[in-house]
Amino acid sequence: MRRYILSRLATLLPVLLGLSLITFGLIALVPGDPAEVLARRGREVEPSPQQIEAVRRELGLDQPVAIQYLRWLGGAVRGDLGDSLDTGQPVWDEIMARLPATLELALAGLTVGVLIAVPIGVLAAVWQGSWLDQISRALALLGAAIPSFWLGAMLILLFAVKLQWLPAMGRGSPQQILLPALALGIGTSAAVMRLTRASLLETLSEDYVRTARAKGLRERTVVLIHALKPALLPVITILGLQLGNLLGGALVIETIFAWPGLGQFIIRSILNRDITVIQGFTLTMGLVFVVTNTLVDLVYGWLDPRIAARATAPGGKP
């Protein structure tokens, strides 16, 4: 298991290096001159070409692209992502001030999705073809079809405006996170529910499950002890991917619920063409996504030691 963990951690470096290269390259293609944006800040009149050129030299934008990338990468490794062209504050500080709220909302949405999807998916697989199975499949289709921003607006209208049970905006109390977490989690539960049902149905047909039943074990023991654990392996994979999707979806939900995360900050930065913030945000979200999927791989190896053994065996596939 130790070799498996080390092999997974070793793959992080080239992946993160490729992520930084793609992030810098794509943002460099975005129209707009950061030097012009910065030169205009705080001025009532248009800056002269000489002033713009002076700012460009100060930022190092007059150097070759390769040199610019290496300077940016060196700063990113030290936690220095530059200063925002809009606010003048360090990008790292701006992101870190808001990232915990976004992660909190995304994890809350993921938790809601799991709490809804896994029990219903298990029951639908155990009672395949029953009315519960039919309802779960209809709910999965409905959850996948409803846009999260529309669902968020409907939740506000029902629970905050009509019934006045829950607050519609802000962050700070458990009640304030319920509505945005539901808006994110219901869409996530659709995919997880379908996969849980399909994976458990496949596992229940395996020979070792039939052997466990032949030994006279109770059906609950067969399902929860022998079948559910291996059936959750593909579910864990999709949860890692869903967390990345939830981070993106959380930006829209944050705007609807006035959640003080990265959503409004990034939208404002995009509108203002604040390239340094966009670069820092893209790199940070990519880092979160890569680390999350690495943790998923490690959980895979813990749940099924055969995967770790195959990955570290000579000639084995990672």
Angle at 111 between CA 166 and CA 245, to 5 degrees: 100
Q: Which two tokens stand for residue 145?
A: 């079809």
Residue found by looking up tokens 């559910």 in the block: 228
**Cross-strand pairs, 90:** 83
Average pLDDT of the residues in 12-33: 78
Helix (H) or strand (E) holding 159: none
242: Cα within 13 Å, side-chain hemisphere:
27
Q: Which two tokens stand for residue 211?
A: 């052997």
What are the residue ranges spanned by the domains of the chain? Answer: 96-269
Architecture of domain 96-269 in CATH? Answer: Orthogonal Bundle (1.10)
Residues 232-244 have pLDDT tens digits of 878 877 887 777 7
Q: Is the CB of residue 149 less than 8 Å from the CB of residue 77? A: no
Q: What share of residues in the chain are helix, strand, coil (percent, to 5)?
A: 80, 0, 20
pTM to 2 decimals?
A: 0.76
Indicate whether 76 pLDDT > 80.
yes
**pLDDT number for residue 42:** 61
Indicate whether 315 pLDDT > 60.
no
- Entry field: residues in the chain: 318
Indicate whether 167 pLDDT > 70.
yes
